[in-house]
Amino acid sequence: MVIAIDGPAASGKGTLARRLAAHYGLPHLDTGLLYRAVALTVLDAGYDLDDSAAATRAASSLIADRLADPRLRDRAMGEAASRISSVPAVRAALLAWQQRFAGTATGAVLDGRDIGTVVCPDARVKLFITAAPEERARRRHLELMRRGENTTLAAILDDILARDARDSGRSTAPLRAAEDAVVLDTTELDADEAFEAARAVVDRLRSH
């Protein structure tokens, strides 16, 4: 069983994906980490994020160990990943990586921006997790404050709105809900409520 989870930044899809993976005993891939890892590789090598050739080389040679770098969780890497992800050749290189992960015998849970539309269009379960931008900014602000990062709610909201526009407006694999995805708005839900709602959807769809 493949569970494809998409949604904008800070919608809660990552937390939900991890919980669903643990509940159903499936491997989980946060595909956003792939793009963050490519961006970090580019920066570590001294190249600019707008150097599409350097980004493509980094994506083509990406190894799983790179996903364990704690720097990938930094706020700046989220912005960098959004910029890198607009390069079609980068997306093409990482597409194969993601499809290999999803193709295991047990199935998998993948979360990202184009899982249900591009990476796993035949997934049995597709969820699109969303929430109001202001609520997503509030959640991300709390998360960053807990990690000791000094930033403002207004700055995070600006980042989220910019990422939404870039992710939805890119020509290659834009952020959108698949036609057969179940849309789950978590604006008024806490983590447990969101999990129970998603689990109910998965249980219903997996039995079909």
CA distance 175 to 172: 9
- Separation between Cα atoms, residue 70 and residue 73, nearest integer Å: 6
- Binding residue positions: 7-15
Gap between the Cα atoms of 29 and 80, Å rounded: 19
Which residue ranges are tagged as binding site for ATP?
Answer: 7-15
CA distances from 105 to 11, 153, 180 (A): 29, 43, 23
Spatial CA neighbour of 131 closest among 196, 205, 190: 190
Q: How far is Cα 198 from Cα 135, in angstroms, rounded to an integer?
A: 19
